[in-house]
Amino acid sequence: MKELIVKVATEDEPNSLELNKRVNYGELARATYHPICVYCGFGIEEVLEVAHLDGNRENNDVGNLAILCPNCHKMLDIDLIPTETIILMRDRLGHLTTDRKKIINWKKRIKDAGEKAAATRKRRSAAKKASDTRKKNAESKSPKSVG
């Protein structure tokens, strides 16, 4: 559990009192957002991390948090992935309360699989026919041994 230590100043002793205010931003983010990396879609919950988008670990506002895999989190931290992109993708994915179901359109994924399979069969058939013809021609041209 992540802890945030908050110093509370009093009039008598300006910086004497410390309170441990437990803010589990991981639980907060997981309760708000879908448990997948908002950038690449990686979805093993035990591996996912919560990123602070503004880089300030003390800013645990839900709008400052995003769930990322370790690779994407590191790329965000070194500015290989723009923060604006993460925010856009996080908000596009939606909150858990939106009841958004992921719909996979398999037609996009295999739109030309039948055509590719037919072309492969045609090439194999043509290759077999050419091979058989070469064998037949080689047999007919080779001298027959007299025994």
User: At 66, is the pLDDT very low, low, confident or very high (cuts 50, 70, 90)?
Assistant: very high
* Residue 38 CA, distance from chain mean position: 7
CA–CA dist 54, 131 (Å, integer):
65
Q: What percent of the chain has pLDDT over 70?
A: 69
Compare 1 and 112 and report the one with higher pLDDT.
Answer: 112
Residue 109: band (very low, low, confident or very high) from pLDDT cuts 50, 70, 90:
low
Name residue, tokens 């410390």.
18
Greater pLDDT, 87 or 94? 87
Q: How far is it, in rounded angstroms, from Cα 123 to Cα 131?
A: 12
pLDDT exceeds 70 at position 11: no
Instruction: Give the model's pLDDT for residue 1.
Output: 41
d(CA 70, CA 113): 34
CA 104-65-19 angle, 5° bins: 150
Burial of 5 (0-12, 13-18, 19+ CB in 10 A): exposed
Query: Which phi and psi (to 5°) does residue 88 adopt?
Result: -60, -45
Q: What pLDDT does 20 receive?
A: 43
Per-residue model confidence (pLDDT) at position 111: 63
pLDDT of 120 reads 86
**For 17-38, what is the mean pLDDT?**
77
Q: Domain limits of the chain? A: 3-102, 107-139
